[in-house]
Chains A and B, each alone.
Chain A
Amino acid sequence: MTRPYLWSPWATAAEQPERVAVVAGEESSTFAELVRSADSLGSGLRGHGVAPGSVVSTDIPTGPRFFALALAALRHGYGLLPVDLAHYGTPVGPAILRDMAVALHITDDASRSGSLPLPCPTLLDTELAATPEAPGEHGRPAAAPRAGFLAFTTSGTTGQPQAVSRTAPRYAYKGVAVADRYSAGILLGPHLMANPAYHLGTLGPALYALQAGSAVVVQQDWSPAAFAELADRHGADSAFLSPDRLLELVAAREAPRRPLRTVFHGGDSCPVEVKRQAIELLGPVLHEYYGTSRSILTEITTPEWLRHPGSVGRPLAGIRVDVRRDGVPVPTGETGEIHAHLRAADLAPGDASVLGTGDIGFLDEEGYLFVVGRAGKEHPYAQPRFEYEIRRLPGVVDAAVVAGADLDCHVEARPDRETAGLRTDIEEAARRLGLPVPRVRLAPPGTLPRTPSGKIRRAALGPVPVAREHP
């Protein structure tokens, strides 16, 4: 076991300049090219007078140009807010940019440069990289800036996506602390991004691996077979799977022939049965996390999960989690809203140190957290508990419960599950929890609407027809 050490892409570029850094379809870059681009972009931002610490936004797809910009932000002291291209033609994109006081939007498409209706100037990344740096005061080089950060939007499962502010680090960029358990480094194979969406859950592991010295391989067209093929072709050692893609991989029983060392997943509840199948398929390498768009709160390894099935793990060092009802912590095992006591490093001035997550869950005797679901409006605790119990029923692949005037259950179930029995089990669970008789829609796996991050898009589910359907 290697003790943790600090490393960065600039260190990789110095040791192995021709090492492949990013692969996305036909495009690729070496570490030397990547850090050269990042430094040019950083100089360009200063040359354009963008103040250190400012936030810039981008719609560049995940690939060599995106990662160069991300590293430019981290090393040269800017916040980078990636916003899905789909939002720019709607009021959502400009609203997010206004909220975050974005100074500049950076794109890779000349047709969008200057044509997007945004509340800030737009510039091509190539123009930015070609901009000469303004000379420092009295010709002296400026001191190393504080490290930058990436900011994210919420995934929009229940409404419109919103930007979440992040805390700028206090110190100059130094890379990452490389730890064995995340299976990335200069001696290890690439990280495979199976869902290259703009979210902390998927960009976080990729940026970590890249900074640790591994290449990042972007899977541009998803299929379980293509995932296994790409992992084998590039000799990947780690991968990230969004909730929907983990479900599909398990259903297709596709796994790389060369076993992955670490598979990150998280972002939404994974039914216990599905996760057991994923462990059988991929090996004891699943690394689940739970958090918000602001920070990761808990992690769990596969051996821990097998001792605490269904848990999302224990809080990271320096973070405390408690479960409250009406603001008062509840005893172990009781359900309530999950609150996180964040680390000072995660707090901005004026932040409350306790973050209400809006998720409902409970802690077990050993402090392992179980996430039941989002707080319901009509039935704050019973509704997410109901959804959690539906997810534990045999044959259920995923579920979302939406309560308005009626209690609507949208359930993805395996085709071999007998539907009348499943409906009865669901109705029985509602009765036990004191909920009204639910309306149940059974759907084949993979057919409910999803966000780009792979969660069920609840806002798009619509009412369940009164008449029973047959999948």
Chain B
Amino acid sequence: MTDRTDVLHQVLAAAATVFECEVGPSDSFFSLGGDSIMAVELATVMEGLLDTEVHTETVVDAPDFAALAAALAGTPAGDVSPATAGPAAAAGAERR
């Protein structure tokens, strides 16, 4: 694993790709409009850039992208946390 600053750059690059806008360290996944589909996409893009496993739970649990980078730089992913969406949300937009 590279150091935290490098990881942060990669996280921001991945988020900018998924959200199609400029992204800063203090932005959060949900404040930018993230949902369950984007969590899968962001985890996949980050895995490609960082060459390490990234869980969607890690993505949605981080309060901002700086914290997400810290979590990815410091410890391997693998935690368990609340879901991003229930199936009931699937009727709304398919991307909760």
Contacts and interface: CB of A to CB of B under 8 A. Distances in A.
Interface of A: 3-6, 70, 74, 147-150, 152, 166-171, 173-177, 179, 181-182, 184, 200-201, 203-205, 207-209, 211, 264, 266, 287, 289, 291, 295-296, 299, 314-318, 343-346
A269 to B, nearest CB: 17
B81 interface: yes
Interface string B40-58: 1101000000000001110
For B32, B81, B87, B95, which residue has the most chain A Cβ atoms within 10 angstroms? B87
26 contacts: A3-B56, A149-B91, A149-B92, A152-B91, A166-B92, A168-B93, A175-B37, A177-B36, A179-B83, A200-B92, A203-B91, A204-B86, A204-B90, A205-B87, A207-B91, A264-B88, A296-B96, A299-B86, A316-B82, A316-B83, A317-B30, A317-B81, A343-B33, A344-B31, A344-B34, A346-B96
B84 interface: yes
A317 B84 contact: yes
Given A176-B94, A207-B90, A5 B40 contact: yes
Contact of A314 (B40, B56, B82, B93): B82
B91 A177 contact: no
Interface of B: 29-37, 39-41, 43, 55-57, 60-61, 81-96
A134 B6 CA distance: 50
B91 A4 contact: no
A466 to B, nearest CB: 42
Which of A4, A209, A287, A295 is the most central at the interface, judged by chain B CB atoms within 10 Å of its CB?
A4
Nearest to A70: B91
Query: Which are the 5 A-B pairs with shortest beta-carbon distances?
Result: A204-B88, A208-B87, A208-B90, A318-B30, A317-B60
Interface centre among B31, B61, B88 (most CB of A within 10 A): B88
Given A3-B55, A5-B40, A179-B83, A291 B88 contact: yes
B68 to A, nearest CB: 13
